[in-house]
Structure 1
Amino acid sequence: MRLRHKPYAMDRINEYSHIVIGNPEERAGNWKEVFGNEQPIHIEVGTGRGRFMYDMAKANPHINYIGIEKFTSVVVDALDKLIEEEVPNLKLINKDAEDLTVFFAKGEIDRVYLNFSDPWPKNRHTKRRLTYKTFLRNYEEVLVEGGEIHFKTDNQGLFEYSLMSMAEYGMLLTYLSLDLHNSDYEGNIMTEYEEKFSSKGHRIYRVEAKYRTEPMQ
């Protein structure tokens, strides 16, 4: 994806610091205070222009959402949507999510969403995939005991790799679809990429994986 430079982006982000949370490292352990309630918190790593998080937050006001996106020129698009209609249970972070343990305390998050992540197809880039074991370990650190990852992609290679990586890590696969849009799954909320790829006939893969609370026998 080629990103267009937006010179106004940082000024806009700084102006709306109650939506795009600055210095998230200082909020670790206190995110429920940021939202002002005790509701569960779900995060999306690589939230892009924010459509998925926006629609999820609107549909589920009893859950708090945080979208994490490292590209400023992209996160400002998500912010613009929230300026038009602020959704109180949705916040944004404009940072690289390589190590979530910097932003969140142990057990502070209830669910992680990974939607249409960069597949990094070359073998030498395996460690950059968001389902590589290092990332899985970081998710486990910030998730509640028995927390979940919900993962969607149109890339078969990345999906197969992710299933293997999650299984090797000892996670329990609780839902799996090899063709989401032709399955009986209800309540799917699409991302911008999902709508684009599915309109071209791409198959959408989805898995829900849960961290085990007890070691495998």
Structure 2
Amino acid sequence: MRLRKKPWARPELEACSFVVTNPYDYKGKWNEFFKNNNDIYLELGCGRGKFIAENAIKHRDKNYIGIDIKDEVLVYAKRKVEEVFRENNREVDNVALIPMEIAFIENVFDKDEVSRIFLNFSTPWPKKRHNKRRLTYVTFLERYKRFLRKGSEIWFKTDHEDFFNDSIEYFKEAGFDITYITYDLHNSDFKENIMTEYETKFSSMGMKIMFLIAKLGV
């Protein structure tokens, strides 16, 4: 669905202290932005922000960075983060949001700078000729390895079974070990799940959510 242009979105993002519009300047220096050396968890395609906001409130000892290319989406993530932190009487101190194209991600983070990546309901690009655009495709996984610490994890959720099965092979090819996998997350024994807006909507319609954890070998 085409998003309607919101000319007010970019000015609102630029006025926000935790929205970073010059992310390349922080490569290798994200600890300076957060003013600590806590682990950095990265959500690629953060959507409207429910997932990253709830994680950041729950895990104060982690830093969270959400990336999305559309200002018209990211502005709602910014508002969601503000809302959740306000409800918990906290200043936003462990979240950063970045408006950018994920294809340039290795220019934003340095070696060993990120400890976990979340890929939640990424575009499945089902046509074979488009598979290389998938955020789990081997070329993307190789980019992530340039800044992921050894032993780090990628948590991947989708409702698209072909995408999920193909991604299992991508992870293996790129040298990741699958340490957890389920084809029905909400009826599994996994207890750490935080639902996205998309997940809430489609699981209520009876759609099964697939999930895996892929670990980068040491």
Using the TM superposition, give the Cα deviation of residue 97 of structure 1 relative to its aligned residue in structure 2, in angstroms. Answer: 1.1
Alignment partner of 2:141: what SS? helix
Pick from 171, 188, 192 the counterpart of residue 193 of structure 2.
188
For residues 156 and 102 of structure 2, what CA distance do their matches in structure 1 show?
16
The structure-2 alpha-carbon separation of the partners of 1:55 and 1:83, relative to structure 1 and needing over 3 Å to count, comes to: closer
Using the TM superposition, give the Cα deviation of residue 76 of structure 1 relative to its aligned residue in structure 2, in angstroms. Answer: 0.5
What are structure 1's unaligned runs of at least 5 residues? Answer: none
| Equivalent in the alignment of 1:152 | 157
| Equivalent in the alignment of 1:11 | 11
State the one-letter code of the partner of 1:65: Y
State the one-letter code of the partner of 1:97: I
For residues 88 and 46 of structure 1, what CA distance do their matches in structure 2 show?
21
For residues 190 and 43 of structure 2, what CA distance do their matches in structure 1 show?
20
Give the TM-score, by structure 1 length: 0.95
For residues 5 and 102 of structure 1, what CA distance do their matches in structure 2 show?
27
CA deviation vs aligned residue, 1:63-112 (integer Å, no higher than 9, x gap): 00000000010000111223443431111000011132100001100000
| Equivalent in the alignment of 1:47 | 46
CA deviation vs aligned residue, 1:97-154 (integer Å, no higher than 9, x gap): 1132100001100000000000000011011000111100011111111211000001
- Count of paired positions: 212
Once the two structures are superposed, the pairs formed by residues 88-103 of structure 1 within 5 Å of their partners are 88-103=93-108
RMSD: 1.0
For residues 27 and 80 of structure 2, what CA distance do their matches in structure 1 show?
26
State the one-letter code of the partner of 1:52: F
Pick from 83, 104, 109 the counterpart of residue 109 of structure 2.
104
The percent identity for this pair of structures is: 46
1:58·1:87 contact (CA, 8 Å) conserved in 2?
no
For residues 25 and 68 of structure 2, what CA distance do their matches in structure 1 show?
18
State the one-letter code of the partner of 2:33: V
Using the TM superposition, give the Cα deviation of residue 197 of structure 1 relative to its aligned residue in structure 2, in angstroms. Answer: 1.0
For residues 154 and 169 of structure 2, what CA distance do their matches in structure 1 show?
14
1:48·1:75 contact (CA, 8 Å) conserved in 2?
yes
1:41·1:109 contact (CA, 8 Å) conserved in 2?
yes
State the one-letter code of the partner of 1:30: K
Using the TM superposition, give the Cα deviation of residue 34 of structure 1 relative to its aligned residue in structure 2, in angstroms. Answer: 0.3
State the one-letter code of the partner of 1:73: E
For residues 206 and 180 of structure 2, what CA distance do their matches in structure 1 show?
22
What are structure 2's unaligned runs of at least 5 residues? Answer: none
For residues 50 and 180 of structure 1, what CA distance do their matches in structure 2 show?
20
Runs of 4+ in 1 over 4 A off after TM superposition: none
1:100·1:142 contact (CA, 8 Å) conserved in 2?
no
